[in-house]
Amino acid sequence: MEFSKSLKTNTRKDEIRKENELNNLINSDTNNTERIQLLENEILQTELEHVSRELQFKENFTLLEDEKPSRNFLNLESTKGGYNEITILREPTLNFDPTREESIENIKYNVFNDQPLIRDKVTGQFQKFYDLQPNLKTSREELLKFWKSDSDESPFEEFQNRKIPDYLSRKMEGKLTSKELKDALFNKMHGNSAPGLDGFTVNWLRTFWPELATITKNALNDCFDKGGLTGLLKTAVIRLLRKGVKDPTIAGNYRPISLLSVHYKLASCAITQRIKPAVNFVVGRQQKAYVEGNVIGSCIINLLNMMHHVNEKQKASLILLIDFRKAFDSIDHTFISTVLEELGFGKDVVKWISIFFDSREAFILLGGHLSKRILLEQGVP
């Protein structure tokens, strides 16, 4: 709101001209890849300049910069908040009556301290998270019906506008190449990331890459040809990380962190780099997290600006926070494939992503022992 008022008229006209030219080139049948990329970069740079110019005049920007965590702070938090063990587990009783006072006859929680039993209880709890939800409507027909429901086709029209162009879809297709695997390994992955069941780290693979490059590429592409990962690649070790200061005796208060094979991480990282150019097409500007170049802290600035505006104008307002429970753990794999296809992604990319999710398994590591097997029928842990 305040940003748009301060934009210079001539700059805005130039930006609109570039956006119109970009849309025309994208919809054109001719090969305009270089000009499209140039325009995209120019538009992005203009937007960044607008934001930077405005932030310089806002007290909120100083506030945000002052609160930015330093590397030492992050290291301290990482050390303090490492993986957790569960020494005591509380489980809600089925017959607890909240209208009565808690007593021996009306027990709210069953308490367990036996480690094998705790592992079984926690495993059962997390298996429920990853059990496939019944009766989900994930087909293309059901999605179209939903988008056009209530006699309102605007959601469908908005989705159509977010489809990626054909030239970009074609560029993402194909098997993994030595070049993109090497780029992912040496430039995109963290060398000291925790290993999975195979015990190999990123730094180890970097050291022996000259000897392993060809066999690694062939093995991963063989998984693509056969339509599935090997047992080792699709199996994760889950460590538990407590959510903030929530009750450590409740299994649902832990976030699962999957430790995966270095070769799984390498393949998924390479495919991630392939699809990154599509992010600006399918993800709206309002999405601040998980998008390169965006800062989630800008949400704080937007909120403070809006609060200042409604207070100044004496407008009635409401702040509504919506959170999806177990969002990453409950999303359906078929739904992901359906949406990717509707967005215009090619069959090879959709197949790669499906392979990364299909038939995965995990074991929870607690007290130095692995739990029973968990089947990851849904979710992307």
Between these two residues, 106 and 221, which has the higher pLDDT value?
221
Strand partners for 90: 111
Lowest mean pLDDT among 27-41, 120-134, 309-323, 365-379: 27-41
Please give the Cα distance from 329 to 327 (Å, whole number): 5
For the stretch 24-67, pLDDT in tens is 776 666 767 677 777 777 777 777 676 666 655 555 545 455 54
pLDDT category, 216, cuts 50, 70, 90?
A: very high
Angle between helices 333-342 and 140-147 (to 10 degrees): 70
**What are the structure tokens assigned to 13, written together?**
């006209």
Supply the pTM of this predicted model.
0.74
Residue-wise pLDDT tens digits, 320-338: 988 888 888 899 999 999 9
Euclidean distance between CA atoms 280 and 289, whole angstroms: 13
Whether residue 2 is predicted with pLDDT greater than 90 in this model: the reply is: no
pLDDT tens readout for residues 145-189: 999 999 999 999 999 999 999 999 999 999 999 999 999 999 999
The per-residue pLDDT for range 285-313, each reduced to its tens digit, is: 778 777 777 777 888 888 899 999 999 99
Given a contact cutoff of 8 angstroms between Cβ atoms, the answer to whether 267 and 220 are in contact is yes
Q: Give me the amino acid identity at 336.
A: I
Residue 119: pLDDT band (50, 70, 90) is very high
